[in-house]
Each structure stands twice: as C-alpha cells, then as structure tokens.
Amino acid sequence: MNKIQGLIAAPFSTQDEKGNILYDKIPLYHDFLVKNKLAGAFINGSTGEGVSLSQQERMKTTEYWAKAAKSSRLKIINLVGGTSYVECIENAQHSKETGVDAIALLAPYYFKPANAKMLVEFCAKVAAAVPEMPVYFYHIPVLTGCHVSMFEFLQAADGVIPNLAGIKYTHEDFMDFMSCLHFKDGKYDMLWGRDENLLSALVLGTRGGVGSTFNYSAPLYLKLIEAFDAGDLKLARELQQKSIDMIRLLGKYGGIATGKAYMKYIGFDLGAFRLPVKNMSDAEYSNFNGDVKKLDMEEWFSNV
C-alpha cells in the first residue's frame, strides 16, 4: 500500500437546481482536477455530501468517478460509511467491483463507539469484507462526535486490520497527529485534512493532504508545498495566510456551501447543497463575489 503524496481534492456533489445528481458532470470534474495537478479525489465525503445522498446515489457517483479515473493518474478514495456496517460493507464491495483505489470509513455518529477498541472492531468488520483494498479511517470528530485518539486507534488496529492504509486526519490535535506519523516508523499514511494549517502539518512530516479548498485553489497549495520544500518559509507562511483569508469567507457566508460558491466564481457551477445545509441567496452571492475580489487571489485559483 503506497502512500499518497500531494493534494487530494474532496469533490463537491454535482447537482442541478432541484438537487438531482448530474452524473455526466463527473468526467468533466475529473478532467478539471487532473488539469490542476491534483493527486487524487476523496469522494462521497463531507464536501461531497455523502451522508445526504441515498445508497443508490453514492454507488452511482462512485461508478462515474471510477470510470473517469480508469485511465488517469488520479487516485480515488471512496468514503463508504457510515452508521450501518451492513451498508458500509455493501459500499466497500461495490467500490472493489468498480475499481476505486481505496475506501475510507467514518466513525458511527449516532451510536458512538465508547473507545478505540470498539471503533477498531467496527472498522475491522468492514475492512475484512475487502481484504485486498487499502482502507483509510476518516477522523473528523467535529462532525462525528467521536473523539477517540487516533494514536490509540492505531495501537489497537495494528495487526487487527491488515489492510489499514492510514488516516484522513481532520482535527487540530497536532500532538496526536505527530504520534500517528511516527507510529511504527511511519507505517501508516497520514493525510492532513485541515487546509487552513497545512503548513503546520508539513512541518511535522506529512506529505499528503485532503481538502475541499484544493478544488478551487490548487495552485496556491502546490506553491505552498514547493516553497516549504525549498526552505522558503517566508513565502510558505504568506501563502498559508492567503489560504486562511480565503477560508474565513466560508464562516462569513454560512459554512460548507460557500465552497460551491467559490466553484461558481471560478466558472464551474456545481449547483447547491441539500438541506439542512444553508445556501447563499443571490444577494449574498453578490456580496461574496465582491469579497472574493478583495482577496486579490486570481492567480491562485484553479483553472477551469
């Protein structure tokens, strides 16, 4: 199981104004990510509204992404669950059949695991159904409410889940993250999931990240990584601040749906988010448009 280096985008769902999934846009989306030098796509995640899609919609989305990436270098990681390990297994086996590169698991977020051992038991049940596929765990406690230490998770999972590849780490606990990076001499692939402090994770040793803002601002982060690797920390810090300034607008305009507004701004309209996520009104989008222009970031947006 090779570690993934570079930027992995978390693609948005492709919808029309009525909330129907526009599957035919997925090949265009794939080409857009390849054009902007992304290393992979983490599909059906938070940004992709996996939890808001039906089982059939998630599977069909997976099929379209797998088909689009069949002859490309883009790695596809599919988030398969979930609160039900039965559905997770169904999605995992479907992922194997469609030919995606890896799957990811989410902590059950209604009946929550009490400790690392219970979380590992849940994940192991799904991973065992696809023993030849790399499996990632998606750690995002702000949404799942599962605050199990990932260092404890790795300690409990090592040897129990043979096909565990690593963790998509979307949390701010750098001590826990660094311990995971160094566990068993760096055995596991630790993918950073907070775009606004990617630089800090690079300092700790990560070489890959998964993010929603990579969709519309890949050149910014690629340059940030290049500056860090060249030892130009002044430039790297300046670029990280630009990322933070850009991300602040997500909070100002209501959260995750603002990402689709950024996509619309750069010329790739992907529709709206499903309820209960709040979308911008036309007046709000007009104000947002003005705020984006003030960022003076045109050179750092992805090319459509």
Q: Active-site residue numbers?
A: 138, 168
Helix ranges (H only) for the chain are: 26-35, 55-68, 85-98, 116-127, 141-144, 150-157, 174-182, 198-204, 214-229, 233-252, 258-266, 282-294
Separation between Cα atoms, residue 231 and residue 149, nearest integer Å: 32
Q: How far is CA 5 from CA 31, 144, 148, 169, 218, in A?
A: 19, 26, 26, 15, 14
Residues 6 or more apart in contact with residue 71 via CB below 8 angstroms: none
Phi, psi of 178 (to 5 degrees): -65, -40
- DSSP code, position 15: B
Is the separation of the CB atoms in 126 and 80 below 8 Å? yes
Among 284, 164, 268, 277, CA closest to 216: 268
Separation between Cα atoms, residue 256 and residue 50, nearest integer Å: 13
Helix (H) or strand (E) holding 42: strand 40-43
Among 27, 29, 28, 24, CA closest to 12: 29
Assign 239 to helix, strand or coil: helix
